[in-house]
Amino acid sequence: MREISRQRWLVENEGREHAVVRGFGGWFHFENMKHVQSAVRWGVRVLGLERLGRQNALDFELVEVEVEVDSLPSQFDGVRVGFMSDPHIDCIGGLADKVIEAVGKVECDYFVLGGDYSFGHGEDCDKAYEDMGRIAGLLAGRGRVFAVLGNHDRYRMGEVLDSCGVEVLINDNVKIERGGESIYIAGVDDCHYYGAQDFELAGEGIADGAFKVMVCHSPEMYRDAAMAGYGLFLCGHTHGGQVCLPGGAIVVRGASAPRHLLKGQWRHDGMAGYTSSGVGVSGIPVRFNSRGQIAVITLKSRG
């Protein structure tokens, strides 16, 4: 695991201004409007929906997804990748045990963790470290696990995952070989809050023409990844909207990306993408019309 970057260190330790400044000076971005979050929490309680919302938040599912990608080496055709993002593992009591039970049932060749492991924003939380240590240890005991950090994660969370045997990709990459063929998995540091992503460093040493996967906490870097020649982009952050209108229509995007990139499968300039709806919840510990998930992605050669 790479050492903490100067950019992340400045935000974590010196209170340097974070990267979330959107709308009119950032004031009209949901993450910057704490009073609106408080009002929504109050409204959920007044309407008697808090209990249902919490039940919904614990009712995540295991989903099977088949993603077609271009130029996939034949030895990786049919490879299964478990993907879990945004557990915010300390957000609701009992979530960690449910996640442990669920990942124990996942059958895959590799597992990817997409960031945002804590509920609090930029805060140390011993419970989150303990629970993610339990989950990471279980996963690493079954096979190779790769992870990136999200906008709710401090560098210490990366150290916790690393100590459990997870390969934490902070602007870094790893090579995976099967039957004489290989692909690369690269991961960048959080782009949404810390602004600490470094695509050049993340791609360092990757062979020309190699098939490569980008893991980024947020879909916001989709253009950069496509321009850099990545064949697959895995991300989360959006929670699939978390609190949506009936039918799943997203109200609050949570990321500066087109709506079709906010959940599920998508494509951009020949690059395949998948945005997870996440497992846990953020800001408000409820879900409505948006179910959490752990995905098992089967890679298939396109054409």
Which region holds residue 125: left if phi is over 0, alpha if psi is between -120 and 50, else beta? beta
Instruction: Decide if 159 is inside a domain.
Output: yes
**If we measure between CA atoms, which residue out of 247, 282, 240, 295 comes closest to residue 150?**
282
pLDDT at 302 over 90: no
Mean pLDDT of all residues belonging to the chain? 91
Q: What global pTM score does this model have?
A: 0.93
Instruction: Decide if 288 is inside a domain.
Output: yes
Residue-wise pLDDT for 92-113, tens only, equals 999 999 999 999 999 999 999 9
Q: Which domain holds residue 258?
A: 6-301
H or E element in which residue 175 lies: strand 172-178
Residue-wise pLDDT for 252-298, tens only, equals 877 888 999 999 999 999 999 999 999 999 888 999 999 999 999 99
Residue-wise pLDDT for 152-183, tens only, equals 999 999 999 999 999 999 999 999 999 999 99
**H-type alpha helices, the chain:** 6-14, 34-46, 50-58, 95-103, 126-140, 155-163, 199-202, 222-227
Instruction: Decide if 1 is inside a domain.
Output: no
Instruction: Decide if 236 is inside a domain.
Output: yes
Supply the CATH number for residue 193's domain: 3.60.21.10
Separation of CA 221 from chain center: 13
Distance of alpha carbon 227 from alpha carbon 45, whole angstroms: 46
Number of domains in the chain: 1
In the chain, helix, strand, coil percent, each to 5? 30, 20, 50
Predicted pLDDT at 121: 72
Instruction: Decide if 242 is inside a domain.
Output: yes
Residue-wise pLDDT for 200-244, tens only, equals 999 999 999 999 999 999 999 999 999 999 999 999 999 999 999
Separation of CA 45 from chain center: 29
180, with CB counted inside 10 A (0-12, 13-18, 19+), is: exposed
Instruction: Decide if 57 is inside a domain.
Output: yes
| Tokens matching residue 200 | 């050049």
